[in-house]
Structure 1
Amino acid sequence: MGGELPFPEVPHAVPPRDARALSKVFLRELAAREEGTAEHQYVRNTLVEMNMSLVVYAAGRFRSRGDEREDILQVGMIGLIKAIDRFDLSREVEFATFAVPYIVGEIKRFFRDSTWAVHVPRRLQEARVELAKATDELSARLGRAPRPSELAPVMDLSEDQVVEAQVAANGYHSTSLDARLAGDSEEEDAALADLIGQEDPALALFEEFHTLAPLVEALAPRDRLLLHLRFVEELTQTEIGERIGVSQMQVSRLLARSLDRLRDGMVEDVGGGREECAG
């Protein structure tokens, strides 16, 4: 390599802060090397090892699946390699910011393609395999779909257990709410989401209430009382003034101040959330 780059002896042991700075240098070098050469592969492998901490960080979001941690890390490494291969030096973005969504996306794709859509007990997961084998065998023999009473002796289960396994098997795959359901004509085609449930307007307010609650709690007791009297008891400003012994003008000014403070707090929270997502 001619000593052109500060290659670390143990790339995966490089601290994240140093890896961030070194990655910029190595990504420029990777772009300059001819793909397929030993030099290109060496720089690429070093980048992968230096940024393994990003995979560990992303995998931490799925820590509840402890029994699959090794699989998650391996899949995350695939996402990291894709990010390295697709990173564009001309974009003014940190590599870590670019790579983490690739890693997380690869992990989510792994769960989508290789795991159950909903959680079911392990005994039912195992029963699904036996159910599929028994169903295929009896279907070929009978020329029709077998009944639970016919499956039960083959699977060495009771009829109720066979039915339970059949219901659980439906959880292995899920259908997107955006999936198109064919109708008699092209105009009658509809998405599954169009046919089930309905929009709950209260859901749109949930996040705002969740953000607003601590802001209201941080107000002075008198300010909280004013908000309660105005928006819960729905008193007029004049009635509020008579209740607490101040003028209507003072009530108006105090309410305006509290509402401005809450509004500013909401804006800051939304802005902070966007910055965090971007990071």
Structure 2
Amino acid sequence: MPAQEQSPARALEDLDAAAAEYASRAECATAAERAVLRNELARVCLPFAGRMARRYRGRGESLEDLEQVARLGLLKAIDRYDPERGSFTAYAVITISGEIKRHFRDRTWGVHVPRRIQDLSLEVGHAAMLLTTELSRAPTTAELAAQVGVSEAAVREAQESAAGYSPSSLNAPAGGEGTAEFGDLIGDPDSDLEMVDDRLTVAKLLLRLPVRERRMLAMRFYGNRTQAEIAAELGISQMHVSRMLSRSLAWLREAMLSDVPPRWEGANPAEMPGMRVAVEQVGTVLTVRVHGEVDRDTAERLRTSLRYGISTAAPGARLVIDLTAVPLVDAAGVSALLDAATTAADAEIDVVVTGAQPYVARILGVSGLRAQLR
């Protein structure tokens, strides 16, 4: 076709002039004629839209998709252009760029990221490409911040958020064919989750223990207290604490492995044997036989029994305290025995402690009862 027969819009290379001619001719044209003029201007501007699309290639989207988005922005620029408001080229650049950026923001991000971060991420990526070309190396965070005009913290946030643009699939193979998926390599079995049933069971079983045993277990395993610290706070010996903790843990283990929890001997004070005191008098010898542990819970009963026996004995009699069946005596038990020795001395009654086991004998020896030990 001869050049003089070509459409004026097609022959013009100046987009501003072509757009001005389109606006003047479309003003008096019918709807059909306006559509033809619009298509002619769009064909003239297609190379320009293609150049705008190529600016954003290499960012995860195919060039064909970017060109389609750029052409859509071009049509919007043509439809909205007002010659009285300035250059068509400048307006088309803004419209097409906005359309491409909106496409990246709304259609291509694999994870939702705020719009502000998305736009900044694109700007930082574009600035990184420019600076890499200029400096022949990767730019620093400070150089990117100066180029974009934001703080270094904002640049780091944008770079971290860029990972949400195209996240890796957890179902992607971790290696060659037949290997595990990437998601199989992330995370470990949650042992705490597997122990939920056991924790609930132990919580119920703890309620079956006496208050003192529960308190000891809480101090030891939740408060991270040592046995010596527990003994000092409760006023008993460390050995006594060790025995009670061992007994409680043994019962918990047995209860955890049983369908029906075994009976705890301390659950019902009326049923538990605890400490027993037997008093026997033969002539002038009053024998008090003690069975069981003498601790803070039982020391007062021993004190009462000894005082009663002393009150019934005549002056010059002998009080024999048989501790053969006593495995443990704590501070409260020692206090009860010292009280009995003092009371007996005031009543002119001789006191003898027999059958004390080695540990008990050492406790009594250092507590002022060495003279009464036999």
Using the size of structure 2 for normalisation, the TM-score is 0.29
Instruction: Give the structure with the larger helix fraction.
Output: 1
* Structure exhibiting the larger radius of gyration computed from Cα positions: 2
